[in-house]
């Protein structure tokens, strides 16, 4: 089936509804009596304002969709979903976690900003309450016991694109690397150079680092872009998301019309609506595409479109999966879960039948999963991230 026809089929499925599919997706533990199971509290941490709010909204929507499709229960227990604003610093993130812990949550989920994730690490580990992170995942987050992630590790997006571009770029080509000066950028650059070949002259120029402001102005990146383009590169490799992605690409396109490559966050979600023609042809690597043709994605994508009237993002998918792994782990605890039991059960759930395809947790508590190449193309009157091919299995 062509990608265009596949999207049309998914849209039609959304219009028809998903009741029949959902009814057929129960696990073999559903027959266990759950009517008398006690309510549980889950804490959801996301940015509720600023340039990363749209990502936070997607994470909230993905988790809420799983609850809607499962009678507002996880592991048979009625769920009270408590939310907290992570802000944009380690201090605000810690305040959010502290507030949720005081309310007696069984588990935590969410977290968009890598700086916040690093800042709350010790608080989560000391509290011995599992956190299933659904976005932020810096590689520096090592040797954790209570922090799991359903997203990725940031260097993997760089690695996937590094392998691809190493073979695609002409021998006389040159890549300008432009990154915000934040916690995650060094991970992306390291992964990219590792797979491309650190000594390859095509990527030998120093990285141009820009402001990490999540709410940049209309000229924030202009000087840095001019500096990066001084050696007349044939392609640009960058790493931005949300509002920053929109402003960066708009300012880049004023001076450079060549190929642009990036981790998929650059063109994910409502960024495409804002960029319009400026996004055409951008190629990205990501662990998810709404075009993926598997049963779990057909169920998820159609239900998401029906409820929210938009195409699901990787952020929503990872949060949906965070709810899914919590559902399975809580079910394994046997009816009276505590945080430590849930954490141990997370290590026993095995393979996850996800919209992204089958994956499982590896030893560092992150997914071993496939990465895909996508390209922004015109789909009628809108821009769409079209699945091109599979790049690698990483994790």
- Looking at per-residue pLDDT, the higher value among 189 and 32 belongs to 189
What are 185-237's pLDDT values in tens digits?
A: 999 999 999 999 999 999 999 999 999 988 899 999 999 999 999 999 999 99
Confidence class of residue 33 from pLDDT cuts 50, 70 and 90? low
pLDDT at 244 over 60: yes
Alpha helices in the chain (DSSP H): 3-16, 19-23, 53-69, 90-102, 114-127, 154-168, 185-196, 222-228, 242-253, 271-275, 295-308, 314-333, 339-346
17 pLDDT band, cuts 50/70/90, is: very low
What is the dihedral sign for C-alpha 317, 265, 196, 181? negative
The pTM of the full predicted model, rounded to 2 decimals, is 0.85
Task: Indicate if the pLDDT at residue 20 is higher than 80.
Answer: no
264 contacts 157 by C-beta, under 8 angstroms: yes
The CA angle 157-353-2, to the nearest 5 degrees, is 70
Instruction: Output the pLDDT for position 200.
Output: 96
DSSP 243-291: HHHHHHHHHHHTT--S-EEEEGGGG-TTHHHHHGGGGTT-EEEES--TT
Contact criterion met (CB below 8 Å) for 97 and 84 = yes
Provide the pLDDT for residue 343: 98
Pick from 14-18, 60-64, 82-86, 98-102: least confident: 14-18
**Is the distance from CB of 294 to CB of 357 less than 8 angstroms?**
yes
Give residue 34's pLDDT: 60
Q: What percent of the chain has pLDDT over 90?
A: 81
Mean pLDDT on 125-151: 94
Any idea how long the chain is?
A: 395
Inter-residue contact 162 to 146 (CB < 8 Å): no
List the helix and strand counts (H, then E) for the chain. Answer: 13, 15
Distance between CA atoms of residues 319 and 3, nearest Å: 25
Q: Are 89 and 116 in contact, with CB atoms under 8 Å apart?
A: yes
Q: How many C-beta atoms surround the C-beta of residue 90 within 10 A?
A: 19
pLDDT exceeds 60 at position 276? yes
Q: Which two tokens stand for residue 196?
A: 């491309």
| Predicted confidence (pLDDT) at residue 31 exceeds the cutoff of 70 | no
Q: What is the mean pLDDT of residues 306-311?
A: 95
């Amino acid at each position: 089936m062509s990608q265009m026809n596949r999207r049309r089929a998914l849209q039609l499925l959304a219009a028809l509804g998903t009741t029949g599919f959902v009814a057929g997706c129960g696990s073999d533990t559903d027959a266990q009596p759950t009517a008398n199971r006690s309510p549980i509290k889950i804490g959801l941490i996301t940015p509720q304002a600023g340039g990363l709010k749209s990502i936070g909204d997607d994470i909230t929507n993905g988790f809420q969709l799983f609850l809607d499709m499962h009678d507002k229960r996880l592991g048979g227990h009625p769920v009270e979903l408590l939310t907290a604003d992570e802000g944009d610093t380690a201090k605000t993130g810690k305040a959010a976690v502290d507030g949720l812990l005081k309310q007696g949550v069984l588990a935590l989920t969410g977290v968009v900003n890598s700086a916040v994730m690093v800042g709350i690490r010790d608080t989560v580990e000391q509290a011995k309450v599992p956190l299933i992170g659904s976005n932020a995942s810096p590689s520096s987050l090592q040797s954790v016991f209570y922090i799991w992630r359903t997203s990725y590790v940031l260097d993997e997006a760089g690695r996937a694109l590094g392998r691809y571009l190493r073979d695609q770029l002409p021998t006389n080509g040159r890549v300008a690397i432009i990154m915000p000066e934040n916690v995650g950028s060094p991970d992306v650059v390291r992964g990219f150079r590792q797979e491309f070949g650190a000594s390859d002259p095509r990527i030998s120029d120093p990285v141009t680092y820009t402001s990490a402001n999540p709410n940049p102005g209309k000229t924030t990146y202009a000087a840095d872009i001019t500096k990066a383009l001084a050696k007349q590169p044939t392609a640009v490799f960058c790493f931005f998301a949300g509002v920053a992605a929109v402003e960066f690409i708009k300012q880049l396109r004023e001076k450079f019309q060549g190929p642009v490559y990036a981790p998929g966050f650059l063109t994910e979600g409502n960024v495409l609506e804002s960029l319009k023609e400026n996004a055409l042809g951008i190629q990205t690597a990501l662990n998810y595409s709404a075009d993926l043709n598997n049963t779990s994605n057909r169920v998820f994508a159609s239900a998401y479109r029906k409820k929210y009237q938009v195409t699901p993002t990787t952020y929503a998918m990872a949060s949906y999966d965070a709810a899914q792994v919590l559902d399975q782990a809580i079910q394994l605890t046997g009816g009276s879960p505590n945080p430590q039991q849930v954490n141990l059960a997370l290590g026993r759930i095995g393979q996850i039948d996800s919209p992204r395809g089958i994956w499982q947790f590896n030893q560092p508590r992150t997914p071993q999963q496939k990465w895909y190449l996508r390209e922004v193309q015109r789909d009628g009157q809108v821009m769409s991230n079209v699945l091109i091919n599979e790049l690698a299995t990483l994790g």
